[in-house]
């Protein structure tokens, strides 16, 4: 019966001829064929589902190439005019420092009296939302404390921002900054 249901016997075989004439055997063969089709459909569906999962996983893993980052330009930001002064008659400069809208390898000249060590920098918009957050090492060089960081400003809009800087685990200092 299984060979008849699998259609592996020639049409003129006596078993095939008997099934064609016997209603009971024909019903059994039809049940076997239906069960076989169902198993094949389930197996095919499972195979398709497995292939979709594998292709979905591979597509998700495929590293999308990020847009190329512009080459870093060297820039200096001098914050010495914002040094805390003891004398009330000497007021800090009101000129707001500016940086270009580029990918920058930035050297920040910290205000007088700043210590060397690890610093955190936060660039914030006018709603005080953090736009970029980075860290850098400040070193004493040429009678100045310089902090080196990488900032990519190329995607920002031109305008006024705030630069927050602190030595690790110390209080934040806030500086105005224009991005042109």
Q: What is the pLDDT of residue 70?
A: 66
Q: What is the pLDDT of residue 82?
A: 80
Q: Is the pLDDT of residue 146 over 80?
A: yes
Q: What is the arithmetic mean of pLDDT over 165-172?
A: 88
Q: Is 180 helix (H, G, I), strand (E, B) or coil?
A: coil
pLDDT per residue as tens digits for the range 7-59: 888 888 889 889 888 888 999 999 999 999 999 999 999 999 999 998 888 87
Lowest-confidence segment of 58-62, 133-137, 154-158 by average pLDDT: 58-62
* Structural domain spans, the chain: 2-61, 73-179
Which is more confident, 137 or 72? 137
Q: What is the pLDDT of residue 114?
A: 86
The pair of three-digit structure tokens given for residue 85, joined into one six-digit string: 């002064």
pLDDT per residue as tens digits for the range 85-109: 655 554 555 688 889 998 888 899 9
Q: What's the burial of 152, exposed, middle or buried (CB within 10 Å: 0-12/13-18/19+)?
A: middle
Give alpha helix (H) positions in 22-75.
Answer: 23-61
Quick one: pLDDT band at residue 128, thresholds 50, 70, 90? Answer: confident
CATH of domain 73-179: 2.60.40
Strands (E), the chain: 73-78, 98-99, 103-109, 117-124, 130-141, 144-152, 159-167, 173-179
Q: What is the arithmetic mean of pLDDT over 54-80?
A: 76
Mean pLDDT of the chain: 85
């Amino acid at each position: 019966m299984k060979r008849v249901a699998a259609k592996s016997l020639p049409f003129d075989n006596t078993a095939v001829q008997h099934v064609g004439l016997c209603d009971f055997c024909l019903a059994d063969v039809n049940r076997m064929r239906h069960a076989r089709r169902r198993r094949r459909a389930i197996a095919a569906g499972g195979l398709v589902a497995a292939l979709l999962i594998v292709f979905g996983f591979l597509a998700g893993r495929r590293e999308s190439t990020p847009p190329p980052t512009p080459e870093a330009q060297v820039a200096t930001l001098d914050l010495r005019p914002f040094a805390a002064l003891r004398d009330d008659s000497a007021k800090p400069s009101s000129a707001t420092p500016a940086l270009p809208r580029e990918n920058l390898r930035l050297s920040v000249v910290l205000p007088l009296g700043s210590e060397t060590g690890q610093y955190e920098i936060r660039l914030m918009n006018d709603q005080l939302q953090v736009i970029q957050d980075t860290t850098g090492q400040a070193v004493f060089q040429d009678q100045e404390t310089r902090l080196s960081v990488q900032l990519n400003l190329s995607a920002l809009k031109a305008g006024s921002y705030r630069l927050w800087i602190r030595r690790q685990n110390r209080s934040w200092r806030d500086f105005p900054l224009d991005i042109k």
